[in-house]
C-alpha cells in the first residue's frame, strides 16, 4: 500500500504530460518508457527498502514513523530516500515537459518566420511570414480554333483556300509579386501567335491606400473591355470598340481608389500608341496623357440592387506623326486601313493631335451582366500629293460602340473580375462546373472624310462594320474554361463593288488560367 | 510645348504625391517600435505610457509605442533581418554593436546618450527556493553534484551571457586569473543545467512556474520581481560574494527611424529614460537607476553587491564575445 501515493502521483504527471503533448502516440510511448523506468527504479531500489522496512516492522512494531524517518536520515548519503527518489523522478519529468514545451514554442516561433509556399486552387505562390514579400507564378494559355464561313470576305490570304485554323492566341507565363510590402511588380511576356511580345513589365508603388505610382509597360487606362483581364472577357475576342482603345504602352501613371473605394481614378503619361496597338518605344515627338475616372457609387452597399453598377469616362490626348491605325474584325481580319504612301507619288500619315474619348459602364446583378462602351478617336491626317504638289489635311473621327449581356446559367454571381464555379467539374459527384451564355452587338463607323479626302479607298476598306455575336462558356473549374462563339460582321462598302461579304466566324477556345 | 509642360507638371505632381507619406506634420499620430530583451516587458509597458503622456503634453502629438521582446541576441538578429525597430533597448552593448555593424545604427551610438547609453544597470544574482534547501551561497555551489541550475542559452540570451561571465569573472578573481579554474567551474555549472531557455524570461518560467531546478541564475530585477510579486513564501534571493555589473544599452536604429521619419521622437524616447520619471520607473521595476537621487530613494530594495565590470574582467564585450560565445568559443567547448 506504500506504493499507492507514488502510483497516483505518476498517474497525475502522465495526465499533465498528455495534456501538454496533446496525447500523441509518440509522446505516449515516451511516457510509457518513463513509467517502465519508474517501475524499474521501484523494483531495484524501493522494493528492497520496503521489504526491509517490513522486516523491521516485524521485528519491532513499536517503532514510530518519526523514528523511521530519523533512521532514514542516518543512512549514508549515497542511498537516497524514497522522497528524494520521487523528487528526482519528478524533476526529470518536469524537465521533459519543459523541454517539450520549449520545442513547441520554437516550432511556433519558426512558423511565424517561415516562408509560406502555396500550391492549390489559389495558384502558386511563395510568401514571407509577414506578407511583406510575395512571389506568384501565374499563367494563361488560350488554344483557339477559328472557322470562317465560305463566303467570308476578304479571302484570308495567309490561310489560302482553307480559312480554318488552330492558333495559340495567348501563351503568357506571368511573374508577379510584392517586395517590402508596398512595391508590386509584374512581368508578363506573351508567346502567342508565333511572336514574342513583352505585354506587361511594371513596378507599382502603393504609397497610400488611395495612391499608387506605376512605372513601366502596362495597359493604358482607357477602354473598359480592354482593361478587363483577358482571362475574364466573356467573348473569345473583344468587341469593335477595343480597336479604338490603346493597348499596352510605356509610361507612368498614378492610380487609386478614393471615397471609400467608390471612385477609381487613373492619370498617366505614356509614349502614345496607335488605336488598338502596343509599343515599347516612342518614335514620334509627342506624349499621350491618359485619364480615366470610374465610379461604383453603390459598391459598399451590399443590399442595394445597384451594387454592381459602374460607369465612367476615359480621355486620352496626344500627338501622333507618321503611322496610322488599322482596324480589325472580331475574327481578327483587317476591315479598314488608310492608304499606303507611294514613293514619289503620295505621302500619307498622322499629323498632329490625337484625341480619344470613351464613356463606359457596366452593371452586374446576380448572374446577369451588362457592359456598354462607346469610343471615339480623332486624329489629324495629312496627305501630300507629291506629283501635284498639293496637300490635304483633315481631322478624322472614327467611332465605335458595343453593348453585351451575359447570364450565368448555374447561378454564380457575375462580376467584372470573373467568377469561380460553385461546383467544379467532377462527374462522380454530378458536378459539371458553370455555364454562361452571352450576346452582343458592336459597331464601328469610319469617318466619311477618310474616304472623301482620299486617305482611304472604299474598294479596299469598309466604311462601317456591324457585328453581332453569341457566346457559350463552360467553366470547368477556376482554371479551365471552354468557350464557343459565333460572330457575324456585316460591312458597308469595302469591296470593289458594293458591300464586302459578311464575316461569319465560329471560334472556340480552351483556356487555362491560374 | 504645352504638352511638354504638362508632362513635366504631371511628373512633378507624381513625385510630390509619392513623397507625401514622408512628410509628417507635428500633430499627426506616430508609432514607435521598441525591440527589447526578455525581462523588460513590464518596465516598458509602464515607461511607454509615461512617455506617451509626456510627449503629448510637450508636443501635442499622440505616440503609440509597440514592444517586442525575446532573447537579446535573437532580437538583435531580428532587427538585422528586417524587423523595423525605431529603437532597441537590449541586454548588452555587443548586441547593439552587431546591429551597428549591419549598417543600421550610427557608429557613435554609445556616445549619444549618457553613461555609454546604459540608462540603468542590474547585476546577476541567484534565486533559490524558500529556505535555500540546497544551501546555495556562492558560485562554487552551483557546480556541486546534485544541484540543478537554471540559466538561459548564452547563444541567444544577453542575460545568459552576463550570467556566464559573472561566474567566469568570479573564478578569475578568486583564483588569481587562473583561466583553467574558471573554465572548470563554469563547466561544472553548465553540466548542472537541465534546460537552456532562449531568454531570461523563459528561464524564470522554467524555475518559478514549472518548478524545475534548485537555483536560477537571474538578473537582479528578474529575481526581485519573482520574490516580491510571485511569492516571498516561495523564493528568496541570494547575492554571491562577487558578481558582474550588467549594463543594458539603448539606441535609436537610425536607418529605420529615418525611414519612418521618427528619429527625433525616438531620440526623445530614449533621453526620457534618464529623466527623473524614467529613472523612477526603472527603479520600480528593480533596475538600478543611474541618477543618484533616485538611486538613494530606492536603495532599500537593492542589496549591496560587490561587482566588477565587463571591461575590468574581460577587456570589453568584443573580447568576451569572441573568446566565449562565438562559434567554437569556450561555451561551445564546455556545453556540447
In a domain, B284, yes or no: no
A162 and A99 inside one domain: no
In a domain, B297, yes or no: no
Asked if B198 lies within 8 A of A102 by C-beta distance, the reply is: yes
Residues of chain A with C-beta less than 8 angstroms from the C-beta of B14: 213, 252, 254
Number of domains into which chain A is organized: 2
Query: What's chain B's length in residues?
Result: 336
Picking from B7, B10, B195, the nearest residue to A98 by CB comes out as: B195
A140 and A266 inside one domain: yes
A17 and A106 inside one domain: yes
Which of A32-36, A333-337, B16-20, B65-69 has the least mean pLDDT?
B16-20
Distance from CA of A464 to the nearest CA of B (A): 33
Res. B40: pLDDT tops 70: yes
* Contact present, A330 and A467 (Cβ < 8 Å): yes
Picking from B3, B18, B212, the nearest residue to A91 by CB comes out as: B212
Q: What is the CATH number of the domain that holds B137?
A: 3.40.190.10
Q: What is the mean pLDDT of residues B36-61?
A: 94
B212 and B323 inside one domain: yes
Asked if B17 lies within 8 A of A106 by C-beta distance, the reply is: no
pLDDT given at position A14: 53
* Contact present, A506 and A489 (Cβ < 8 Å): no
In a domain, B99, yes or no: yes
Give the B-side interface with A, CB within 8 Å: 3, 6-7, 10-11, 13-14, 17-18, 20-21, 82, 148, 194-195, 197-198, 202, 206, 210-213
pLDDT given at position A136: 93
Q: What is the mean pLDDT of residues B184-213?
A: 92
pLDDT given at position B16: 44
pLDDT given at position A7: 52
- The whole domain housing A339 covers 116-513
In a domain, B42, yes or no: yes
Residues of chain A with C-beta less than 8 angstroms from the C-beta of B211: 94
pLDDT given at position A286: 80
* Listed residues A83, A111, A139: the one ending a domain: A111
Picking from B14, B197, B210, the nearest residue to A252 by CB comes out as: B14
A466 and A389 inside one domain: yes
Asked if A207 lies within 8 A of B20 by C-beta distance, the reply is: yes
pLDDT given at position B18: 44
Residues of chain B with C-beta less than 8 angstroms from the C-beta of A289: 3, 6-7, 10
Asked if B210 lies within 8 A of A94 by C-beta distance, the reply is: yes
Task: Return the residue of B nearest to A256 by Cα.
Answer: B17
Residues of chain B with C-beta less than 8 angstroms from the C-beta of A252: 11, 14
Q: How far apart are CA B271 and CA B263, in angstroms?
A: 12
How distant, in Å, are the alpha carbons of A150, A296, A343, A359, A403 from that of A362?
Answer: 36, 10, 47, 11, 9
- Where residue A366 falls (left for φ over 0; alpha for ψ -120 to 50; beta otherwise) is left
Which of A108-112, B132-136, B239-243, B261-265 has the least mean pLDDT?
A108-112
Distance from CA of A178 to the nearest CA of B (A): 16
Residues of chain A with C-beta less than 8 angstroms from the C-beta of B210: 94, 97-98, 101
Asked if B195 lies within 8 A of A91 by C-beta distance, the reply is: no
pLDDT given at position B7: 46
Res. B48: pLDDT tops 60: yes
B140 and B229 inside one domain: yes
B208 and B329 inside one domain: yes
B101 and B141 inside one domain: no
A354 and A435 inside one domain: yes
* Contact present, A349 and A475 (Cβ < 8 Å): no
* Contact present, A411 and A438 (Cβ < 8 Å): no
A194 and A94 inside one domain: no
* Listed residues A111, A134, A165: the one ending a domain: A111
Residue of B192, B195, B203 to mutate for A, most A C-beta atoms under 10 A: B195
pLDDT given at position A70: 42
B192 and B314 inside one domain: yes
Q: How far apart are CA B228 and CA B57, in angstroms?
A: 33
A137 and A19 inside one domain: no
B312 and B229 inside one domain: yes
Task: Return the residue of A nearest to B81 by Cα.
Answer: A113
Distance from CA of B194 to the nearest CA of A (A): 7
pLDDT given at position A380: 94
* Beta bridge pairs of residue B229: none
Give the A-side interface with B, CB within 8 Å: 91, 94-95, 97-99, 101-102, 105-106, 132, 205, 207-208, 211, 213, 252, 254, 267, 269, 286-287, 289, 318-319
Q: How far apart are CA B229 and CA B209, in angstroms?
A: 13
Asked if A95 lies within 8 A of B195 by C-beta distance, the reply is: yes
Asked if B206 lies within 8 A of A98 by C-beta distance, the reply is: yes
- Where residue B220 falls (left for φ over 0; alpha for ψ -120 to 50; beta otherwise) is alpha
Q: How far apart are CA B14 and CA B9, in angstroms?
A: 9
In a domain, B292, yes or no: no
A131 and A17 inside one domain: no
How distant, in Å, are the alpha carbons of B159, B255, B258, B262, B273 from that of B87?
Answer: 19, 10, 11, 10, 12
Residue of A87, A88, A94 to mutate for B, most B C-beta atoms under 10 A: A94
Asked if B10 lies within 8 A of A267 by C-beta distance, the reply is: yes
In a domain, B8, yes or no: no
Among the listed residues B274, B291, B324, the one whose alpha carbon sits nearest the alpha carbon of residue B94 = B324
B170 and B76 inside one domain: no
Number of domains into which chain B is organized: 2
User: What is the C-alpha R_g of chain A?
Assistant: 38
In a domain, B85, yes or no: yes
Task: Return the residue of A nearest to B198 by Cα.
Answer: A102
pLDDT given at position A149: 80
- Strand pairing category for A462-475 and A434-445: antiparallel
Report if pTM > 0.95. no
Asked if B148 lies within 8 A of A91 by C-beta distance, the reply is: yes
Q: How far apart are CA A184 and CA B244, in angstroms?
A: 51
B72 and B106 inside one domain: yes
Task: Return the residue of B nearest to A270 by Cα.
Answer: B7
DSSP string covering A128-179? -TTSS-EEEEEEEEEEEEEEE-TT-SS--GGGTT---EEEEEEEEEEEEEEE
Asked if B18 lies within 8 A of A213 by C-beta distance, the reply is: yes
B40 and B147 inside one domain: no
- The whole domain housing B139 covers 121-246+305-334
Q: What is the CATH number of the domain that holds A318?
A: 2.40.160.10
Distance from CA of B176 to the nearest CA of A (A): 34
B42 and B90 inside one domain: yes
B89 and B131 inside one domain: no
Q: Cell 518513463 maps to which residue?
A: A34
Give the H or E element holding residue A396.
strand A390-408
Query: What's chain A's length in residues?
Result: 514
* Listed residues A111, A145, A164: the one ending a domain: A111
pLDDT given at position B38: 83
A83 and A140 inside one domain: no
pLDDT given at position A72: 42
Q: How far apart are CA B72 and CA B93, in angstroms?
A: 10
A101 and A129 inside one domain: no
pLDDT given at position A80: 79
In a domain, B136, yes or no: yes
| Strand ranges, E, within A410-461 | 434-445
Residue of A133, A269, A353 to mutate for B, most B C-beta atoms under 10 A: A269
B242 and B254 inside one domain: no
* Contact present, A493 and A499 (Cβ < 8 Å): yes
How distant, in Å, are the alpha carbons of A338, A393, B51 from that of A341?
Answer: 9, 15, 77
- Strand pairing category for B87-90 and B30-37: parallel
A203 and A280 inside one domain: yes
Tens of pLDDT, residue by residue, chain A (514 residues): 444 455 555 556 555 555 544 444 455 455 555 555 554 454 444 444 444 444 434 333 333 334 444 444 444 556 778 888 888 899 899 999 999 988 888 888 777 777 888 888 778 999 988 788 999 999 999 999 998 887 665 554 444 444 688 999 999 999 999 999 889 999 999 999 889 999 999 999 998 878 999 999 999 999 999 999 999 999 999 999 999 999 999 999 999 999 888 999 999 999 999 999 999 988 777 889 999 999 999 988 888 899 999 999 999 999 888 889 999 999 888 899 999 888 778 889 999 999 999 999 999 999 999 999 999 999 999 998 888 888 999 999 999 999 999 999 999 999 999 999 999 999 999 999 999 999 999 999 999 999 999 899 998 899 999 999 999 999 999 999 999 999 999 999 988 888 888 888 999 999 999 9
A128 and A56 inside one domain: no
Amino acid at each position: 500500500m506504500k506504493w499507492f501515493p507514488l502510483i497516483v502521483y505518476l498517474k497525475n504527471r502522465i495526465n499533465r504530460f498528455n495534456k501538454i503533448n496533446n496525447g500523441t502516440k509518440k509522446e505516449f510511448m515516451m511516457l510509457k518508457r518513463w513509467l517502465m523506468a519508474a517501475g524499474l527504479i521501484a523494483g531495484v531500489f524501493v522494493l528492497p527498502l520496503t521489504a526491509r522496512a517490513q522486516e523491521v516492522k516485524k521485528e519491532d512494531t513499536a517503532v514510530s514513523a518519526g523514528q523511521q524517518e530519523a533512521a532514514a536520515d542516518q543512512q549514508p548519503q549515497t542511498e537516497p530516500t524514497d522522497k528524494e527518489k520521487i523528487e528526482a523522478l519528478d524533476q526529470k519529468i518536469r524537465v521533459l515537459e519543459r523541454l517539450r514545451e520549449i520545442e513547441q514554442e520554437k516550432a511556433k516561433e519558426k512558423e511565424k518566420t517561415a516562408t509560406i509556399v502555396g500550391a492549390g486552387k489559389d495558384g502558386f505562390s511563395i510568401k514571407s511570414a509577414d506578407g511583406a514579400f510575395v512571389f506568384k507564378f501565374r499563367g494563361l494559355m488560350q488554344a483557339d480554333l477559328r472557322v470562317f464561313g465560305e463566303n467570308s470576305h476578304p479571302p484570308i490570304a495567309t490561310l489560302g483556300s482553307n480559312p480554318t485554323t488552330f492558333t495559340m492566341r495567348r501563351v503568357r507565363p506571368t511573374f508577379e509579386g510584392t517586395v517590402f510590402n508596398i512595391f508590386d511588380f509584374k512581368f508578363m511576356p506573351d508567346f502567342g501567335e508565333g511572336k514574342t511580345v513583352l505585354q506587361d513589365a511594371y513596378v507599382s508603388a502603393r504609397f497610400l491606400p488611395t495612391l499608387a505610382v506605376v512605372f513601366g509597360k502596362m495597359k493604358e487606362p482607357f477602354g473598359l473591355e480592354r482593361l478587363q483581364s483577358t482571362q475574364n472577357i466573356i467573348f473569345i475576342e473583344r468587341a469593335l470598340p477595343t480597336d479604338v482603345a490603346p493597348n499596352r504602352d510605356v509610361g507612368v501613371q498614378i492610380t487609386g481608389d478614393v471615397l471609400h473605394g467608390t471612385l477609381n481614378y487613373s492619370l498617366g503619361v505614356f509614349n502614345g500608341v496607335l488605336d488598338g496597338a502596343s509599343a515599347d518605344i516612342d518614335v514620334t515627338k509627342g506624349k499621350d496623357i491618359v485619364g480615366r475616372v470610374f465610379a461604383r457609387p453603390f459598391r459598399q452597399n451590399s443590399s442595394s440592387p445597384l451594387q454592381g453598377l459602374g460607369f465612367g469616362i476615359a480621355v486620352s490626348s496626344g500627338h501622333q506623326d507618321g503611322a496610322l491605325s488599322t482596324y480589325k474584325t472580331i475574327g481578327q481580319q483587317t476591315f479598314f486601313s488608310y492608304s499606303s504612301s507611294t514613293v514619289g507619288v503620295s505621302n500619307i500619315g498622322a499629323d498632329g493631335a490625337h484625341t480619344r474619348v470613351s464613356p463606359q459602364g457596366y452593371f452586374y446583378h446576380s448572374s446577369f451582366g451588362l457592359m456598354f462602351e462607346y469610343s471615339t478617336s480623332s486624329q489629324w491626317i495629312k496627305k501630300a500629293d507629291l506629283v501635284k504638289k498639293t496637300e490635304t489635311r483633315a481631322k478624322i473621327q472614327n467611332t465605335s460602340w458595343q453593348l453585351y449581356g451575359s447570364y450565368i446559367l448555374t447561378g454564380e454571381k457575375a462580376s467584372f473580375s470573373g467568377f469561380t464555379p460553385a461546383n467544379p467539374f467532377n462527374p462522380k459527384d454530378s458536378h459539371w462546373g458553370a455555364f454562361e451564355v452571352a450576346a452582343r452587338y458592336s459597331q464601328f463607323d469610319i469617318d466619311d472624310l477618310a474616304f472623301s479626302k482620299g486617305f482611304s479607298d472604299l474598294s479596299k476598306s469598309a466604311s462601317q462594320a456591324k457585328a453581332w455575336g453569341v457566346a457559350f462558356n463552360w467553366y470547368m473549374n477556376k482554371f479551365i474554361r471552354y468557350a464557343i462563339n459565333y460572330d457575324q460582321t456585316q460591312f458597308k462598302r469595302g469591296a470593289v463593288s458594293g458591300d464586302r461579304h459578311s464575316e461569319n466566324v465560329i471560334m472556340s477556345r480552351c483556356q487555362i488560367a491560374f | 510645348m504645352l504638352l511638354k509642360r504638362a508632362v513635366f507638371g504631371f511628373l512633378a505632381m507624381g513625385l510630390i504625391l509619392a513623397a507625401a507619406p514622408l512628410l509628417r506634420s507635428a500633430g499627426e499620430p506616430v508609432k514607435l517600435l521598441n525591440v527589447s530583451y526578455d525581462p523588460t516587458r513590464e518596465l516598458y509597458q509602464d515607461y511607454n505610457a509615461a512617455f506617451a503622456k509626456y510627449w503629448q503634453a510637450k508636443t501635442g502629438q499622440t505616440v503609440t509605442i509597440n514592444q517586442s521582446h525575446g532573447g537579446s541576441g535573437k532580437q538583435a538578429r531580428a532587427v538585422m533581418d528586417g524587423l523595423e525597430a525605431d529603437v532597441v533597448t537590449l541586454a548588452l552593448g555587443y548586441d547593439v554593436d552587431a546591429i551597428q555593424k549591419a549598417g543600421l545604427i550610427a557608429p557613435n551610438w554609445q556616445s549619444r546618450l549618457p553613461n555609454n547609453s546604459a540608462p540603468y544597470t542590474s547585476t546577476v544574482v541567484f534565486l533559490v527556493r524558500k529556505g535555500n534547501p540546497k544551501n546555495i551561497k556562492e558560485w562554487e555551489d552551483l557546480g556541486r553534484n546534485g544541484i540543478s541550475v537554471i540559466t538561459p542559452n548564452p547563444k541567444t540570451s544577453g542575460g545568459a551571457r552576463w550570467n556566464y561571465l559573472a561566474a567566469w569573472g568570479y573564478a578569475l578573481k578568486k583564483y588569481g586569473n587562473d583561466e583553467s579554474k574558471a573554465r572548470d567551474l563554469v563547466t561544472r555549472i553548465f553540466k548542472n543545467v537541465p534546460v537552456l531557455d532562449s531568454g531570461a524570461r523563459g528561464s524564470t518560467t522554467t524555475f518559478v512556474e514549472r518548478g524545475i531546478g534548485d537555483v536560477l541564475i537571474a538578473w537582479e530585477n528578474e529575481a526581485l520581481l519573482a520574490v516580491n510579486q510571485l511569492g516571498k513564501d516561495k523564493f528568496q534571493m541570494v547575492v554571491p560574494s562577487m558578481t558582474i555589473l550588467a549594463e543594458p544599452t539603448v539606441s535609436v536604429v537610425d536607418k529605420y527611424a529615418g525611414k519612418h521619419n521618427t528619429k527625433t521622437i525616438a531620440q526623445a524616447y530614449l533621453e526620457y529614460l534618464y529623466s527623473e520619471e524614467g529613472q523612477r520607473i526603472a527603479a520600480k521595476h528593480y533596475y538600478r537607476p543611474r541618477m543618484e537621487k533616485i538611486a538613494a530613494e530606492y536603495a532599500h530594495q537593492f542589496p549591496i553587491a560587490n561587482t566588477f565590470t565587463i571591461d575590468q574582467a574581460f577587456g570589453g564585450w568584443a573580447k568576451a564575445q569572441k573568446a566565449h560565445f562565438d562559434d567554437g568559443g569556450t561555451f561551445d567547448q564546455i556545453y556540447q
